Every structure is written in structure tokens, then in C-alpha cells.
Structure 1
Amino acid sequence: MAITTTTIFLNLFLILTTTSAAVRHRHPTTHNYHDALTKSILFFEGQRSGKLPPNQRMNWRKNSGLSDGSNMKVDLVGGYYDAGDNIKFGFPMAFTTTMLSWSVLEFGGMMKSELGNAKTAIRWATDYLLKATKQPDTIYVQVGDANKDHACWERPEDMDTQRTVLKIDKNNPGTDVAAETAAALASASLVFRKSDPIYSKILLRRAIRVFAFADKYRGSYSDGLKNYVCPFYCSYSGFQDELLWGAAWLQKATRSPMYLSYIQSKGQSLGADESDNTFSWDNKHVGARILLSKAFLLQKVQSLHDYKGHADSFICSLVPGAPFSQTQYTPGGLLFKMPDSNLQYVTSTTFLLVTYAKYLTKSHKVVNCGGMIVTPRHLRTIAKKQVDYILGDNPLKMSFMVGYGPRYPQRIHHRGASMPSVSTHPAKIDCGAGFAFMHSETPNPNVLVGAIVGGPDLHDQYTDERSDYSQAEPATYTNAPFVGTLAYFAHSFGQI
């Protein structure tokens, strides 16, 4: 029989589909990613500040911070508490917003019934960020005195510590937090472009104005506000990464040649080709590289060619066994960056892995790590291993997401979760009295469903002690990128 082109393609198709089916059969999922997705979004309701809506599902939480900003005659009610305390830090809140938005932009089509909840989580933040940026050349970047707040252990509903308001302006610049806020507003404008075009335009106009302020008045916000924001959310990496990141999001949101020209002319001076490989609320270089590589790979913006190489370098630093691998893993297989809240780096990295895999697949590209070819499928395999570890495939057989699986942390470092709710204990519990609950060995009375804790140590050990904030404290910026990753896996395994 003559071998025709059709025959060759048919045989190739059969080989590929059979192999794919075999792989799926060998590696069945043991996790309900859809359930984890639902819970990862629900978590944000437990972090809300302000007047809660009638459809609040995390009903052990009540109104709080209703006079925020009043001492400065501004309305700063709303937004999110960053972690287990009662402070509203603008820097990590903006990054949280950007990552929630990016999650929806890449994987929102896979979220189905959860898409509305994800958008609601984003809007709770952007409504606040619009308030914080209402005055030109001024951004309110924090509500609450962290040192005084940390000297107390009290429910947000009972807060009686000073709600100090901090701002940046022309005289006290904060390029890092301003550019991240611009990124948050620009990315969110894309989320709402079709469903709420008027709101989307408001967000984008504000993003443009805020970025111009960030770029014109340069300086790190933690220089002028050091006594208030350090060591909590110091800008350790400088502000160059936020300028590149913010410009990348504005280029994506506006398609204006102005931002593309900005990236082309200033990218290198802003650290586009630095070798750092940690993506977090502080350092955005890697995220910017992945985002800009999309413009080259999928939109054929040739001037951004180098960002494919920069993104590949990051990927090669992660792949175990690759010639340029720099990443440490625990004996149980968890990516390990730092002992304090390590899972924030895991969730941000897994998001970049599945997102870059998506870009590579669509553009029919791979990554070459010194002769070792890394395929999109390989990246997804690495990401899935990290996700599964968080959800319970680890030496402790424990989920690090509260409320998911049969065994999860019971004593997370979180004021509201660790104390009886206002519903069951309406009487105020003051600053000092709350420490009896913090030091208690009993499980938290309120389940902060979906919260991802700081995570285990380098040896896969986790103590589940409320006082150990490095392991036991959740944070919004840990959950935000995980939303997109979970949506991808829930869809891939037909759960959603």
C-alpha cells in the first residue's frame, strides 16, 4: 500500500491520542480542583474590611473599619486585610488585585460558576483602590499602625488601635506601590471590559494617571514611610520591577505605542534581563517577562523578542535536573524559596508555569535549557506536583488549604478566625484579652475556608502552632495566583 500524507498524519494522530490517553490513565487526579478553586476564592470574603454585603458567605465575619480614613477626611472604607492582622497595606493589596485579574484573564473562561465570585473579589479591591487614588498625585497606601496592631490580638470588628493613614505624594514618592497600583487598575480594567465597560474605562483612566505619577516622581515608598511599612512590606527589590510590570499591563490594556516604546527604551534599565527568579508582592521582574513574552509569542510584537529568552531563563532555573536549575526543593518535592511564608512563592510560580505553558502551546514553542528541551506539558507536570503537594500529596498527608480535604491546619495565625465571632460572642474582646485565644491550644472556632497558610519548612515539617506566623499565617497574595492555577486544573480534569 502506498503511504500517503493522509496516512502519515492519521498514524501520527493515533500515536499522540493513544499516548495522551495513556498518560491520563497513569496519572489520575486525586484532588477536587473545582472544590479547591471555590474555596480559594471564598477565602477573600474572610479578609474583607468595611461594610459587608447581604450576600456575604463567610458569615462569621461582620462589618469593620467603617471610619477608615476619617481622620484624614477621606473615605478609605473597604479593601482587604492582607493576612492575619487588621492592617490594610496598599502594596500587597494591589499585587493581590493584579494576580486575581491575571488569573481571570488567562483562565476565567474555565471558571464557569466561579467566574462571578472571582470578579466580585477583584471589585472589592478595585473599589478601594479607586478611593485610595482619587486625589491626583496622591495615593493612600496604608490604613492602620502595624506596630500597634501587632501589639494586640483582637477581632477586626473590635479594633480600637489607631487607624493611622499613610500616603505618598510628590514630596514623598512611592514609585513601587504606585506602579503596582497602576498594574492592578489596568489589569482589572481588562477583566471588566465586556461585562461592565463603564467601570472598565474608569479603572483604565485611573491606571494611566497613577502610572504617570509613579514614573514622574521616583522613589521607594519604604524610604519615606520606613517606620510604618518596614519590616512588614518594605520594597526590598526597588521600584524598577514595578515600573516594567506596570508598563506591561498598561501596554496590554491600552495597546498604545507609548507604553511599548517605554518598555523598549527603558526595559533594560528597569531590570528586564536581571537573573532574579523569585516572583512575589515585592519583585515583579519575572511576571513582567512572562507577560511581555506573550506579546511576542502570540501577538508577534517582534521588538519584545528578548522577553521569550528572559522568560525561558526563569523556567530553566526551576526545572529539576536542567543545566541552569537554581531552585531548591524539599525531600517531599515542594519548591522552597524562603522559610517565611514559602507557599506564597509556590503559588505564584505555579501560576507562571501554567500560564507560560499556555503561551508556548499556542505558539508551538518549547524552552531550551542548555540542550534540554522542556515542553509545555513538562511545565504543567511541575505545576501539578506543587498544587497537589499543597492539597495533601506530601509527607504529612495534610492539606495546607484550610477547609480542603480531611486534614488541614486548625490553628492558623489569624485574629478573626482564632477568636469567637461577634455572632456568638457579641461583647467586645479588647486588645490584651485576645492573647488568651492566640496562646490557646484549641482549634480556631471559625474556619477561614480556602486560606493557604505559610506552609511547611525545608524538611516538610509543619507544627500547626498559631504563634508561628511564618508557617501558620495566610495572605491574600498567596491565594490570588492559585485561583488561576486551580481553574486550569479543574478544567483540564473535567471537573468544571
Structure 2
Amino acid sequence: MVSPVNIMVAMLAVTAATAAPAQDYKDALMKSILFFEGQRSGKLPPSQRITWRDDSALTDGSDNHVDLTGGYYDAGDNIKFNFPMAFTTTLLAWSVIEFGDRMYPELPHAIEAIKWSTDYLLKATNIQDVVYVQVGDPWADHNCWERPEDMDTPRTSVSITKYFPGSEVSGEIAAALASSSIVFKKFLPKYSDLLLIRAQQVFKFVDTYQGSYNNSRARHFVCPFYCDYSGYQDELLWGAAWLHKATQNTFYLNYVLSNVNKMSRPWNIGEFGWDTKDAGISVLLSEYLFFNKVDWKPFVPYADEFVCSIIPGSSSSPSIIYTPGGLMYKPNLRICNMQVPSSLSFLLVVYAKYLKRANRVVQCDHGVVTPLKLVDLAKSQVDYILGNNPMKTSYMVGYGQKFPQRVHHRGSSMPSIKVHKDHIKCKDGTTYYESKAPNPNLLTGAVVGGPGLDDLFADDRNNPGQSEPATYINAPLVGLLAYFSGN
């Protein structure tokens, strides 16, 4: 339970944010998208702008005689975890769908960031009833500190099948392909069609052969790194919800409505991230439900409860707490708290957009919450990330006058292969990991895990919980920054 003092501090922090120095959202937007180029795996294109990176992992998939080159490394390591990568893709696509008209001149780069992932996800789903869920051995990788260009750890490609299902990752991939098909419908219609057909095929597979990859042969490779901690039913609903939005086929809406009560656990009102999609499903479906003659229950009430659970001052089973400086915080997260304010704030501005169009407000136990209040809360979180915080530091690398210098990221922390061409072996990178010097390569746009509950931040490469970036922090932030860039 959040204490009254904590609530009051958070409310004051949110109010004070409106008087804090203005942020350059356009600059931050450009850099938040640029970050994804630093995470690329595979053969880099001539247009590559983060030039200290080079080609890597060019034989991925060869152990199974398939092409799995491309895609993104999830964070500061050199593994391609498809579960968070697919979620990253879905959120990038949703950002463009909702706020792409505010992204210019960065929109082409945002679309390119999506396609870098969808090209890979198409490869990962190219064999019927087989979905590749990961490339790389994380146990070996995490025992080394190597540039991606130097990797000599096993590039094991891990798949799930009808005999060894993985519904959470397959459901998220279906959502990623479906949402991305909406983005490309205007720009590359044939590619959009391909994405949508594949999304439907993957969804049929995941619905027919249900089960968690925690219990499959993939477990050794995905756990504990990206285990599914919340069950896979939410990904089934999430995938169906996106397929409904992409196709307008009522089969998918009916699937969601008829299966929501089959969840093996209570609905997680205030949860949204790579593992748990509950709040995102509610917000996504609310747009359709507001403007069509369909029963709003349970999703619009769930979306309203999500709002009430995170608004400062509400006592409605709060799902988060706030730091004294006003940042959303989940104490039970092992690493990377910044994914919380990023993802939840994105939902706030999207829901505010839908509420405004529907001429609705949210009624919480402490009063009425307007769309403007949701936007103000989201803005306070974005501004905190960009520098309006007790440490007076930007948590986005390369943005502002003060930002993290010792990011927990292999490629950024070691000399570029363009400068140091000799191979750096697994343990030879330890010197760079332990160094107190700033990273030699700027991972521009990377948003790190962020401060602790006390608002204090250790700019320490050896503290990955605070200093490691992740694609799923940046993806929803792209949409947020686009929204505030256009205001």
C-alpha cells in the first residue's frame, strides 16, 4: 500500500514538473529512434548512422540450415530474444499508428526500425508450425564481455513446435506482424499483405498448439532471462486484438471476448510490458468499443481501472508507487525499472486520445480524471527521463548536458572494431567492463534502467539494473516523444 506521504510527494512532483525546464522532444525523438541502429544484428545497410557498429552474427540459423540473420539484440548483450523483440516491434508499430503524423522528419527512420525487426520475424516464422524464439546461448554470452562483431560464443537457434509449444512468444509475434501490417499498408502494401498473412498463420498455430515455452526444450535458453512469468493467455488475446484491428474481422474480436474469462489468473489491471499485456489489451480494444455497438465489458472498465490504479492520490489498489521525485516505480522488478514509466505512460496518452474522441472521462474513487490529466502525468514521466529529476540528469544517452557515461553495453563500452580491428576474446573484454572510464562509443538515444526508489542513480557499468538499456524501454518512448513533439 502506498503511504499518504508517498502519494502527496508524487502529486507535488507531478505538479512541479509543469514548471520545470522545457525539453526538446524533437531531438529526443530523433535519438530514441537512432538507438535501434546501435542494437542491429546482421549485415548493416549503407545508411547505418551509428557508425562504430559493424556487421555481426552473419551465420545465425546455420546450425538448423535456416537464415535467421537480422533483428535486434535486446539490451547490452548479444542475444536475440524474440519475445521482447516482438513486443518492441508491436510498440514501435503502435507508436507510428497513433502518432506517426507527429514524427516527421523522423517517420522514415521509425518505419525502417520496424522493418528491421519484421524482416527478421518473417524469417523466424517461415516454416509451417515452427517458430524460432531465440538466437544465441545466453549462458555463454553472459560469461563474456565481447563486441557483437567478435562473438565466438554458440549462436544456437532455438525453436518451438506443435510438440514443444511457446504460446507467449508466438502470440506476441502475431501481434507484432499484425500491428506492423497496419503501418506498411500505406507505404508498402504488398509487404503489408505478407505481414498480415503471416500473422494469421502464426496465430492459428499458437491457438491450435497451446503451452508455455517455459515448459519446453527452450526453457534452458529463455529462463531466467525472458521466462514467461504471467502465463501465455494474455498473448493469445493480445495477438487476436491486433489481428482484429488489422483485419476488422469479427472472428478475432469474438475470440478475445469469448476467451477473456478463461484466463488462468486474475486480470492484471495495471500491468503492461514484454511479459504481461493486460492493460494494453484493454486500452487497445477500448477504441473500437467506444464507437461500435458492442458491450464495453470488461475491457473499458478494465482500462478505467488501469487509470485509477496509477493516478497519484487514488486508493484503488495502486499497481505502482512513485519515487520522491515523482517517477513510476515497481520495487519487485529485478532490473530496468524505466520500462514501467515508458510503457504505462504510452498507454496513458493513447487512452487519453481515445477518451477525448469519445467525449469521456474516467471516474476514480477520488474524483474525475480527464484526458488532460492523463497527458500531464505521462508528460511528467517523460520529462523525468529527460532530466527533470532530483539527479538533474538525462537518462537518455546523448541527450542533454548530463547523461549516463558508463552504460552496461558491450559494444558501446569497448573500442569500435573500426578502430581496434584485432579480435577481442571472451575474457579479454573484462578489462573494459571493469574500467571506470566512460564508454568510448556513444549509444545515442539509449534509455537506461534508471534510478532506484530513492531517485539516486549509479553511473556504473557494473550495475546493470540501473545502467543497462533495452529496446522495450525505447519503443513506447518513441510514441510518447512523437506525441509531445507535436504539441
State whether residues 20 and 388 of structure 2, in contact with CA within 8 Å, keep that contact through their aligned partners in structure 1. no
* Contact 2:268/2:279 (<8 A) preserved: no
C-alpha distance after superposition, 1:130-166 (max 9, x if no partner): 0000001100111000000000000000000010110
For 2:401, which of 386, 398, 406 is the aligned residue?
A: 406
**Are 1:468 and 2:463 an aligned pair?**
yes
Map of 1:231 onto structure 2: 224
The alignment status of 1:344 with 2:339, answered yes or no, reads yes
Q: Is the 8 A contact 1:272 1:310 kept in 2?
A: no
In 2, Cα distance between the equivalents of 1:309 and 1:119? 33
Q: Deviations over 1:294-320 (max 9, x none)?
A: 1112x3242344311110001000011
Residue 446 of structure 1 and its aligned partner are, at CA, apart by 0.2
Larger radius of gyration: 1
Query: Does 2:108 correspond to 1:116?
Result: yes
Aligned partner of 2:280 in structure 1 is 287
- 1:277 aligns with one of 249, 270, 274: 270
Partner of 2:242: 249
- Given the alignment, which residue of 326, 338, 359 partners 1:364? 359
Change (3 A) 1:467 1:367: same
Q: Is the 8 A contact 1:126 1:185 kept in 2?
A: yes
Tell me what 1:317 maps to.
309
Please tell me whether the aligned partners of residues 193 and 200 of structure 1 are also in contact (alpha carbons under 8 angstroms). Answer: yes
**Counterpart contact for 1:453–1:475, Cα < 8 Å:** yes
| Runs of 4+ in structure 1 over 3 Å off | 26-29, 270-273
Letter paired with 1:128? Y
Matched, 1:58 2:50: yes
Kept after mapping to 2: 8 A contact 1:273/1:310: no
Q: Secondary structure at the match of 2:134?
A: strand
Task: Give 1:245's aligned amino acid.
Answer: W
Once the two structures are superposed, what CA deviation does each residue of 1:68-101 show, in whole Å capped at 9, x if it has no partner? 0011100001000000000000100000000000
2-structure distance, mates of 1:46, 1:207: 27
Tell me which residue corresponds to 1:18.
Answer: none
Residue aligned with 2:106, SS: helix
- Please state if 1:446 is matched with 2:438: no
Is the CA contact 1:178–1:210 (under 8 Å) kept in the aligned structure 2? Answer: yes
Matched residue type, 1:490: S
Query: Is 1:328 the counterpart of 2:311 in the alignment?
Result: no
CA distance in 2, matches of 1:416, 1:461: 26
Aligned to 1:39: 31
Tell me by how many angstroms 1:260 deviates: 1.5
Structure-1 residue corresponding to 2:454: 459
Map 1:143-222 to 2 at 5 A.
143-222=135-214
Deviation at 1:276, TM superposition (A): 3.8
Flag structure 1 segments of 5+ consecutive residues without an equivalent: 1-22
Alignment of 1:409-448 (within 5 A): 409-448=404-443
Give per-residue Cα distances to partners, 1:323-359, cap 9 Å, x unaligned. Answer: 3151200011101013521001110011001110000
CA distance in 2, matches of 1:428, 1:301: 63
Q: CA deviation at 1:424?
A: 0.8
Deviation, structure 1 residue 483? 0.2
1:29 deviation in Å? 5.6
User: How many residue pairs end up in the alignment?
Assistant: 468
Q: Which secondary structure state, in structure 1, belongs to the residue aligned with residue 313 of structure 2?
A: coil
Q: Distance in 2 between matches of 1:143 and 1:376?
A: 42
Q: Secondary structure at the match of 2:186?
A: coil
SS in 2 for 1:112: coil
8 Å CA contact 2:144, 2:426 repeated in 1: yes
| Cα separation, 2, equivalents of 1:347 and 1:34 | 17
Give me the whole-angstrom Cα distance separating, in 1, the residues matched to 2:100 and 2:376.
21
| AA in 2 matched with 1:32 | D
* Letter of the structure 2 residue corresponding to residue 483 of structure 1: V
Between the aligned partners of 1:304 and 1:124, the Cα distance in structure 2 is 36
2:87 is aligned to 95
For residue 383 of structure 1, the aligned residue among 378, 386, 391 is 378
User: How many angstroms apart in 2 are the aligned matches of 1:253 and 1:350?
Assistant: 24
Correspondence for 1:132: 124
CA apart distance, 1:272: 9.8
Which runs of 5 or more residues in structure 2 are unaligned? 1-14
Offset of 1:261 from its aligned partner? Answer: 1.4
Contact 1:244 1:272 in 2 (8 A): no
Q: Is the 8 A contact 1:339 1:458 kept in 2?
A: no
Q: Distance in 1 between matches of 2:329 and 2:160?
A: 34
Q: Partner residue of 1:490?
A: 485
- Asked if 2 retains the 8 angstrom alpha-carbon contact of 1:367 and 1:374, the reply is yes
* d(CA) in 2 for partners of 1:270, 1:204: 26
Q: Name the SS for the 1:303 alignment partner.
A: coil
Which residue number corresponds to residue 74 of structure 2?
Answer: 82
Q: Deviations over 1:191-228 (max 9, x none)?
A: 00011110000000000000011111010012112211
Distance in 2 of aligned mates of 1:279 and 1:435: 35
Tell me, yes or no, if the aligned pair for 1:344 and 1:454 is still in contact at 8 Å: yes
SS of alignment partner, residue 264 of structure 1: helix
The residue type paired with residue 244 of structure 1 is: L
RMSD: 1.5
Q: State the TM-score, normalized to the length of structure 1.
A: 0.92
Once residues 400 and 301 of structure 1 are traced to their aligned partners in structure 2, the CA distance between those partners, rounded to angstroms, is: 44
